[in-house]
Every structure is written in C-alpha cells, then in structure tokens.
Structure 1
Amino acid sequence: MDILNRLAESIDYIEKHLDQPLKHEEIAQIAYCSKFHYQRMFYMLTGVTLADYIRKRRLTVAAQELAASHIKVVDAAFKYGYNTPESFSKAFSRLHGISPSQAREKGRTLRAFPRLSFHIQIKGVEDMNYKIVEKEPFQVIGKALEVTVKDDQNKKDIPAFWNELNHNGFTDSLKPDIGPLGFLGVCMDFNDQADTFNYVIGVEKTTADTPAGCVGKSIPAATWAVFEAIGPVNPAVQATWERIFSEWFPATGYELANAPQFEAYPEDGDIMAQDHITEIWIPVVKQK
C-alpha cells in the first residue's frame, strides 16, 4: 500500500501547485521514483500521461475560476502555465469546446477532468503468476537505439527497430550465440533530464567474443520479478505491463528497483500465436 500512498501524495502536490511551475522530477521524488519510472507508472495506472493530466487539470481549474470570478483571460493564461493568451485559448477550446471568454456566460457547459485517486482494483478474474529470480550480473550483446518517451515516440520507434533488425538479418545472425533467455528487448540507461533511454535488442552473452557489429551492455545483479505474457505479443505484453503496475505492485511488498527492465522472447516462437509466452523481467526490491 505504500506505493499508493506515495502516489496519492504526489497528486496532492500537483493539485496544490497547479498555478505554479511543476517539474516532473520533483513530482517523481515525492513518490520516491526516478522521473522515467514515475511517468511510466503513472501512464500504466491512469491511461494518461503525466503532462496531459497536469494540462487537463489546469484547464479544468482555470474554467472554474473564469466562471466564478472576474479574472482576466490573460491573467488566467499566465497563472496556469501558458506563455500567451492565444496558446491558452487554443488549449482551452480543445478541452471545453468554447473559448475562455464564453466560459463566463451563464449556463455554459464546462468539461471537468477530475482529480485522480489511486486504489487497488480487485478484479478476481485472473491470477497473476510470477516468480522471484536472483540473477548474477550478465552481459547483453546486440544493437542499441536511443529513444525518447516524449509524445510516446518510443512506442513507434521500438517496433520499427525490431522490424528493421528482423528484416535485415541481424536477429538471425545472433542465433548461434543465443542464451537460455532467448531474444531480449532491454530498456536501460534511463536519462531523466533528456527523457530518453537506450533500447537494446540482443541476446545474453554466452561466449568470450562479441560478434562484429554488436555492442555489449552490462546488466547488474538484481532480484527480478518474472511474469508471463501469454498470447500474441500485441496486445498481451502491454496488457501484462499494465496489470503489473496497477495490480501487482500495489498488492505486494515490492517496489521497482533502479535497474534495466527487459522482455525475453523464445528463439523460434510465433509472436502471433495464442500460446506464445513472453517473459517480462522487472527488477524489484522489498519495501523498507
């Protein structure tokens, strides 16, 4: 439950500072998370990005203030984080369907994006089977791509990266070196300042040599929670990630550790098969 309490505290902080500059790093610190992990967890739990939530909450509160007071539109724009009245008016109109000036008119309908609250959702439909694995340090060999989480660009770039390496023969070239985990898709080297991370497609290194054209990445020793996503990779993997953050973490005594995360795919698996199994490896620590 600690994770839910900390998320609730971060929402309290956002609500108290809607009319002030909000830095994602400071919000994440309240939840004892890195910026990257907080933003990812926030999206998994809510279905909206942190930036979008803040924007919609500011526009909701701004509309209420315009309707109930004599604040000028230009003052409301600056108060809620917009550089110009024009940019404020455009964003306001997209959410509410009317201009800020029209919000003053009696009888106008305004849209309210509600404040979030967090709780455990007991579904009782499917068990979440997992295992805890202690694994020594290992290396991954493959190709790396720096991707950004801004505007969910990583969700476009990573599938395109897989397609590229599958079609140009690179993944086939790794098969002689493939380890027991199969093919790996690793998220690592998180850069909170730039909102980027490295995504590595490769295999666990099992020989002394690194094949030509490959980079080597070190994965530290860690405790891992390992989950099975059963079914076609899309949507089974994404659905399992969502359940991990929305159901498993809040209900257990574990927290996300600051280490790489990865998905493991069988060497010859059919990613579209109903019985295909993708393993999701998440580094964890026991709550203090």
Structure 2
Amino acid sequence: MLERLNEAMEHIEAHLGERVEAAELARIAMTSEYHFRRMFSALAGLPLSDYVRRRRMTVAGAEVLGAPDRTLLDVAVRYGYDTGEGFARAFRAVHGIGPGEARRSGAVLRSQQRLTFRLVVEGSTAMQYRLVEKDAFRVVGRRARVPLVHEGPNPAIAEFIRGIGREELDRIAALSDQDPAGLVGVSDQLDPSRAEGTELDYYHGVVSGAEPPEDLDSLSVPAGSWAVFENEGEFPGALQYLWRDVFTQWFPSNPYVSRPGPEILRVRLTEEGKRAEAELWIPVERSPGT
C-alpha cells in the first residue's frame, strides 16, 4: 500500500502544471477515490487538494524568485493558470504575498515539502475490532449541520444536544431496536477533504429498523459491511485518536477500504465525564483484488 501511495505522490510531482485528478491518483494507489482521499488526509494531516495546491505554489514560487528571465504570465501558464490574476490569487493564498511583490522584494516564501510515506513500526497496542454485516436500517433522531473539529470538544455538537432536551432524548432512545444500541452520534455528508471547519450532517439519535415518526429526522442506510472498533480513554481525545488510528494503522494493515456511508459513534461516559468507552462503526468493503 505504501509503495502505491508513493507512486501516486510521484504522479503529482510529474503533473504540477496540469490538473491533478484524485480519481487517477486512486487508480495508481489501487483503491477507490473515496478511500484514497480519506487515507491521504489521515496520513498527511491535510486534505489532498491543499497538498497539491501548496506543492504547485512551492515550485512556482521557486521560479518566480529564481528565474527572472521568465515573465509572471509565463510562470502562471506553466503551472496551469490561464490568467495572471488567477495565478496571483493562488500564489497569495499560499505565500501571503503576490508574485510581483515577491519578485521585487526577494521575499521569503513558504515551502510545502514533498510527501513520502514510510513504514513506521508502531502497532505495539492491538486494536480491538470486529466485522459486522448489517441489513438496511435507519438513523432516527435530530439532525444539525455542524463544522468538523479534529481535536477537542465540538461546541456546535454540544450546544445542539443540549437544545434537544431530556424528554425528547428519552423518547428517541426508546426507538432503538438494534446494534449499536442506545443513543449514538452519526456523522454523514462529510466534505471529501475532511478539512477542519468543513461542515457535515450530524445526527443524534438511534439505529432502528422501524418506520420513523414524522416529527423526527431520519437517514436511510443501505445494507453492507461495517468494521467496529472499541476503545476506552480520556474524552474526547481518545475517541478522536481512534479515528486517526483506524485510517493510519488499521486500513494499511488489513484487506479493507472505507466505502461511502455514515460513521456511527456510540459513547458511554464515566460519572465524572472525563473518560469514556466507545464503539466506532465505519462502513467498509474488501479491497479490490483481495
């Protein structure tokens, strides 16, 4: 897997002056575009689109400063921009300064180093997981559009749950009729970049096979395979690290890839609210060719 990921990184470098298609990178890595984007974000710590843009502007910045015989329009066209204005906007977004000003002043520019994925032997702690085949079901409860937060509490989710009310939560909880049992948090319609601050649909509800009440929000989920991970630790950090470990450790070591679908988190807090036991349900399918 790492070898194929590095071949995809080489493809990016060879095509910085062109449109880099995520579908082609996924083909090189021999996985789905959906899984490739998520895997890249987890491993690299930034979205694929951001990395490509930063690499392009890193190399373009070197030409702006180091090739004074080339006009700025020449450099812009070389890196796939039809106009100097579009190139200047992209340049400023990465370097914080326009290309013309950078060339005149010899400014210090920012550099995005090339990524190379290497095997780091960690994995000394076994991850607990199981595979589950589930028939189609519904998530039933209340829904809100919230920003994605990578570390620490998500204030928007906390405020949303407080606003539902205890009586309503008890009514929703009574609709649970299958695993994962009880109230769960469900993330759906995440931005492919998985970038901090992008929005997602968050459901606070239950998993049910019954027809939902008309006054509640619901999400229909098709039948499929799920990898279910368990852990215990400080809340919420340990849960957020669990998601990271799934994509940086479990997927590269197992013949599965993620597939489109919601992610389901079942959390049981301790009395003081500082630690939690969790189950994370991720929709998966067998890797191509396995």
TM over 0.5: yes
Deviation at 1:184, TM superposition (A): 2.1
Q: CA deviation at 1:105?
A: 8.3
8 Å contact from structure 2 (residues 34, 260) kept in 1: no
Give the TM-score normalised by structure 2. Answer: 0.76
Deviations 1:180-215 (A, max 9, x none): 5222222346787xx986443210126x45234213
CA distances 1:215-271 after superposition (whole Å, capped 9, x unpaired): 3333333332211242344222221111111111112222223443221224xx349
Letter in 1 for 2:281: W
1:116 positional shift: 1.0
State how 1:1-288 maps to structure 2 within 5 Å. Answer: 1=1, 4-31=2-29, 35-69=33-67, 70-82=69-81, 85=84, 88-89=87-88, 92=91, 95-96=94-95, 100=99, 111-145=110-144, 153-155=147-149, 160-169=156-165, 170-179=168-177, 180-181=179-180, 182-188=182-188, 198-205=201-208, 208-266=210-268, 269-270=269-270, 273-287=273-287, 288=290
In the aligned structure 2, how far is the partner of 1:91 from the partner of 1:213? 46
CA distance in 1, matches of 2:233, 2:6: 34
Match of 1:150 in 2: none
For structure 1, list consecutive stretches of 5 or more residues without a partner in the other structure.
148-152
Q: Find the aligned partners of 1:107 and 1:216 in 2 and give their Cα distance.
A: 57
Q: Report which stretch shifted further, 106-115 or 176-185.
A: 106-115
Q: How many Å apart are 1:117 and its aligned residue?
A: 1.5
Using a 3 Å threshold, how does the CA distance of structure 1 residues 190 and 209 change in structure 2: closer, same or farther?
A: same
Check the 8 A contact 2:255/2:286 in 1, yes or no: yes
| Alpha-carbon distance in 2 for matches of 1:171, 1:72 | 63
Give the Cα separation in 1 of the matches to 2:202 and 2:32.
18
CA distance in 2, matches of 1:214, 1:187: 17
Aligned identity (percent) is 35
CA distance in 2, matches of 1:93, 1:46: 23
RMSD (Å) for aligned C-alpha atoms: 3.6
Closer, same or farther in 2 for the Cα pair 1:35/1:211, shift >3 Å?
Answer: same
* Paired position in structure 1 for 2:195: none
CA distance 1:120–1:262, shift in 2 (3 Å): farther
Contact 1:130 1:225 (8 Å CA) reproduced: yes
Deviation (angstroms), 1:57: 0.4
AA of the residue aligned to 1:249:
F
1:2-33: CA deviation from partner (whole Å, max 9, x where unpaired): xx344333322222221112344544454455
- Most deviating of 27-36 and 72-81: 27-36
Alignment partners' CA distance in 1, 2:90 and 2:41: 21
The one-letter amino acid of 1:131's match is R
State whether residues 135 and 223 of structure 2, in contact with CA within 8 Å, keep that contact through their aligned partners in structure 1.
yes
TM-score normalised over the length of structure 1: 0.76
Q: Which moved more, 1:276-285 or 1:85-94?
A: 85-94
